[in-house]
Amino acid sequence: MAQDSSGENESKPSKSQLKRDARALFELGRELVSLDRSTLDRMPLENRLRDAVEAARKIKSHIAHKRQLQRIAGILRTIDPEPLRAALEARQMEARQLTIRHHRVESWRDRLLADGDAALQELLAEYQTSEAQALRTLIRNARRESERSKPPASARKLFRLLRDIDENHPLPPA
């Protein structure tokens, strides 16, 4: 008889695990509510979940908002939340990739401004582009602006040009 009761306990999740699962669904609901409308429209949501999320976005009262989040968590318990988690993870991965690209372009801009023609020759050796003359001009103008303590308009244009180049073919690591 002792074996039966221990066998039952192994198949049922612990009370702590149930609380962790409920908290995870509550946080998933909170994340859904915090999304902007265009992102939310791309999410694979059932109609009743979408309605509950929309209602939560309109609620101003803290307690009522929390109650609505609990209602959303209850709806999430009745459906499979994995497609939502996967969609949110894909969205976060896309944002991380965009940040990595942004930092790579920034580092190339900074390196081009610091090292000048040496860095430009290295970039052109790695990556053939028809924008070589425009890059040289922008580097020269950005350095001149920096020396004269003027606003970095050419540095911004250089960044945009490098970003456009990177969109077509990724720049090598700086």
pLDDT at 2: 46
pLDDT at 10: 66
pLDDT at 1: 44
Q: Which of 29, 142, 134 is nearest to 84 (CA)?
A: 29
Whether the per-residue pLDDT at 58 is higher than 90: the answer is yes
In this prediction, residues 57-73 reach a mean pLDDT of 95
Q: How confident is the model at residue 26 (pLDDT cuts 50, 70, 90)?
A: very high
pLDDT at 171: 82
In this prediction, residues 114-137 reach a mean pLDDT of 84
pLDDT at 117: 84
Q: Which of 30, 28, 24, 173 is nearest to 106 (CA)?
A: 173
Q: What is the mean pLDDT of the chain?
A: 88
Q: Which residues of 66-82 are buried (b: 16+ CB within 10 A; e: fewer)?
A: eebbeebbebbeeeebe
pLDDT at 130: 73
Share of the chain above pLDDT 70, in %: 94
Q: How confident is the model at residue 167 (pLDDT cuts 50, 70, 90)?
A: confident
Strand, helix or coil for residue 30: helix
pLDDT in tens, 82-96: 999 999 999 999 999
